[in-house]
Each structure stands twice: as structure tokens, then as C-alpha cells.
Amino acid sequence: MVEDPKRKLLMVLALLLLPSSAQTGNTDRLSEHHCMDFQRANFLRGRKLKVQFLLFTSSSPICGELISADDGIKNCSFNSSLETKIIIHGFRALGTKPSWIEGLVQAILHTRQVNVIAVDWVYGSTGAYPSAVENVTQLALAISQFISKLLALGVSGTSIHIIGVSLGAHVGGLVGHFHGGRLGRITALDPAGPKYTRASPEERLDPGDALFVEAIHTDADSYNFLICDHMRAVHLYISALSHPCPIVGFPCASHQDFLNGHCLDCAKPFLSSCPRIGLLEQAGVNMSRLPQEVKVFFMTSPSAPFCVYHSLVEFQLQKKRNRVTSIEISFSSNSTKDTAKITIPKDQETGKRLLAHRVPLCQINSVTLKYIPKNLFWSKDEPFIVGKFCVAPLPLNSSRTMSCLPWSLTLPSKTDISYELPTACA
């Protein structure tokens, strides 16, 4: 048989036109489908729910493959032996594709060899927010039916991980509820507040909706900053998957208690491991039986990779004062400077605070302290204070104690005083 040179040329050109990452994968499979993208809607077309399921794999991380809940699943690149991550976006006011989808898909596939399915419901999420909320139950039923088809193919329910963003977090909760809470995991990235703050557990995300449920809140106080704070959870999650620096949360009753240094370890209720953002099983918590619900807190840096190191800083006055004492404390390395403020209450000797710093404590070259007096019109504060400075990296447990500068410090009013911070790297 004589090979047609034109046919050979066409095959070579087809390979060159494929994404470079796909050339090393199953090129025959990729040549059978076209890359599909999210739909685009507008206010007039956006009310009807029109759902698409787009499959991404390690061999095709930037080329979405349209799959349906019928027998077509058998004829696509879906691998039933791998874990499946299902991404559900939220409200899309302008009817556009979420800008973060590609970054999240690629971050997941960079970390794990899994099936990633992005649920495109842009049509039903466009327009007014209340109309998008009205589509939540119908969308959850559609996704639930799709998952049922996967289960019928032999996919393990515990291998299914739903990642829901904003309104998509509550969609994921309903999907989990429809499957009796037996799906493996739900990750909720800043679940939507409006219409859900007073909803029943059956109508919203709930701790019982999967075997492991985690919710990352970055806009818990107000939705006035919808774009900035609300989407920060997505960027934190992508960063946690893309960078080795861990984002660790510490269990605590309130955010203020956490900042004030009242929650320093993982002992209660996690025994020896604090949860981490990412794809580690049970968020890295090595307990066979987890408590039903725990609040954990962490601090971040202003930009990617967002991860920081937490240290407890403490100042012990040589004698009590009859007014509040404020001390600004800064950690400096070769490339960073991070600051926190200690407040010592009236008639108390010790004040403490958490300080978030972008490099490990052992890379901090110096600590700078500044006493900030409380001068009032009728009363002048003391010109200086005397005390002792101590620090310890978190988690702080029985095997790790605070280290203190071995001398008393005299801090003049409104003056930066710097000291070397001798801490060795392990």
C-alpha cells in the first residue's frame, strides 16, 4: 500500500495545531472532539437554564470536552478510575465566562491527575440575582442526575469532589444533599450570603452535605466589596494549589480572639494537625473522626502566593500602667517588612498579638519596636516604657516555648528601636 503524501502532511499539520500539552497525551482522542468553551448570555437570554458539562484532563488541560449525562460519557476522555472534581460557578451578572475558571482547572490538574468537570450554567446565572437563585434547585437536580450516571459507570461516590464558588457553593450543597451526604467532599469558596443567611439546612450548604465539607470565607462581614473580597477565596485556593507554601488555619472561637493570640495550636479539636487549604485528604487533618463543625482562622499577605507565617509577639511591662499601652512591632528581612500592634490593657502587664510575616521567623533579621504614647490635652503620657519582648512561631504547643530577648528594653516615645532577632532555621 502506497502512503498518500498529502494525507501525511495533513496529519502533521493537525498535530502542530493542537496545544503543546495535548501532543504528549491521547492525540487520537483529542482529534475526535473540538475544544468547547463556556456559553455567553445576556439579560434577555439569561433566564433559561441551559447547562453544559465541560471535561478537562491532564492530557487536555486547556481544551474543554463537552459531555452529556447520557451514554456519551462512555465515549469521551473521562477516566472512571480517577477522582473527579466538579467546579460550579456562581452568579454571573453580565453573562460572561468566569475569568478564574482556566486558572483553577489548570491548578488542579497541575496538582493531581484527575477528571475536572466545569459546570457551565452561565445562561441561568445571568441577569438579576434573585432569578439566578430561583435556578439553583433545578441546576442541582441536573448535576445530581449527571453524577448518578457517573456512579452507574462504577465511579466511587467518595471520589467525587465538588468545588462551588459563591452561589455555586449552595448548589453543591444541594447536590450533596440529594446524594444523602455520601459524596466525598465539598469545597465552598465564599458561599453566597444574600437569600441564604436565614435559609434552612436543606436549602443551603450544610456540614452534612458530604463526608467532608470545608468553607473558605473571605467576605464574611459585608458584601459591599463583592468583586475584591468575594473572589479572593478563589484566588487563595488557586494559589494554595500552585505554590508549596502552605495556607494553614488555626481553630478559634472568633477572629478577634485569633488576632489577640488566644488560639495558638491545633490541639483542640484537631489533636496534632491544623487544616490546610488544598487537596490534601481531610485538609491534612489526621483524625479518623472529625467534629461536626469547627471555625478556623488564618491571615494572608496582600498578593499571591498569599501564604504567611504566624508568630505570637508579646511585650511584658516592667510595671503596670494606669492607662492603655500601645506598641508597634515590625519584623524585617532582606526583602520584607511586616507590622502588628500590641495593646496592653490598663492595669495589666502583658500584651500579645499575632504577627503575620511573609518569610519564616528564622529569616527575620531584626525586630523594630515603637512605643506610641496616649497624650491627651489634659494629660501627658510617660516619655518611655520598660519591658521585655518575646516571640514564638505558631503552632505553639508543649514542645515549643517562647524565646525572649535576654535584656529589658527601654522604648522612648514615638521612636523606632531595632534589635537583632537571633533565631536559627531548623
Q: Which residues form the catalytic set?
A: 166, 190, 230
Please state the φ and ψ torsions of residue 329, each to the nearest 5 degrees. -125, 130
Q: Kindly calculate the radius of gyration of the chain based on its CA atoms and give it in whole angstroms.
A: 27
Cβ neighbors of 365 (< 8 A, separation 6 or more) are 332, 333, 334, 420, 421
Residue type, 116: V
Query: Judging by beta carbons within 10 Å of its beta carbon (0-12, 13-18, 19+), is residue 112 exposed, middle or buried?
Result: middle
Read off the amino acid at residue 383: P
CA distance 252 to 13: 59
Count CA within 13 A, CB hemisphere, residue 385: 30
Concatenate the DSSP letters of all residues of 374-392 into one string: --BTTBPPPSEEEEEEEEE
Phi-psi region of 190 (alpha: psi -120 to 50; beta: other; left: phi over 0): left
E strand or H helix at 134? helix 129-134
Query: Three-class SS of residue 130?
Result: helix
Q: How many C-beta neighbours within 10 Å does residue 263 have?
A: 22
Strand partners, 186: 162, 213
Residue 253 to residue 255: CA distance in whole angstroms: 7
Q: If you ran DSSP here, which 8-state letter would residue 207 be given?
A: G
Cα separation, 123 vs 92, whole angstroms: 9
C-alpha cell at 197: 443567611
Identify each DSSP E strand in 269-336 by its residue range: 296-297, 309-317, 325-332
Omega before 395 within 30 of 0, i.e. cis: yes
Burial class for 163, CB neighbours closer than 10 Å (0-12, 13-18, 19+): buried
Euclidean distance between the first and final Cα of the chain, in Å? 68
